[in-house]
């Protein structure tokens, strides 16, 4: 179990309890976090689950793998902290994670 906080583009915080083994995207959807569309359902095929990882957490969440990196090319306003939230698997290590939702999805 990990507490994950989503911060929307306009600064609204959503504090969620995420089960280990689920993905960050699934927790955004389950908690009705606005701004995460996840059109492909987590198959790394749409880039509409794009988020920015808070600077303090980038080392813990790690770098995107090649397939995710390719899909990120289709995301809106990609930054060095960009990740696809369906590709981040929840574990105890992520307890306290903060992610920021972009202004819009591509």
Q: Which is nearer to ligand FES, 2 or 46 (CB)?
A: 46
* Binding residue for ligand FES, selected from 44, 60, 98, 106, defined by CB under 6 A: 44
For residue 88, report the phi and psi dihedrals to the nearest 5 degrees: -110, 115
Rounded Cα–Cα distance for residues 40 and 95 (Å): 26
Which of these segments, 14-22, 44-52, 59-67, 93-101, binds ligand FES (CB under 6 A)?
A: 44-52
Cβ count within 10 A of residue 86: 28
* Binding residue for ligand FES, selected from 33, 38, 72, 97, defined by CB under 6 A: 38
Angle at 88 between CA 72 and CA 33, to 5 degrees: 85
Binding characters for ligand FES, 82-101, by CB under 6 A (x = yes): --x-x---------------
């Amino acid at each position: 179990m990990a507490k994950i906080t989503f911060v929307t583009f306009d600064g609204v915080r959503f504090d969620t309890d995420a089960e280990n083994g689920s993905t960050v995207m699934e927790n955004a959807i389950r908690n009705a976090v606005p701004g995460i569309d996840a059109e492909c359902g987590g198959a790394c095929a749409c880039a509409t689950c794009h988020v920015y990882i808070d600077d303090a957490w980038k080392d813990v969440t790690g770098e995107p793998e090649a397939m995710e990196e390719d899909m990120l090319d289709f995301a809106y306003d990609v930054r060095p902290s960009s990740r696809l939230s369906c590709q981040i698997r929840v574990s105890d290590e992520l307890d306290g994670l903060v992610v920021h939702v972009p202004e819009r999805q591509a």
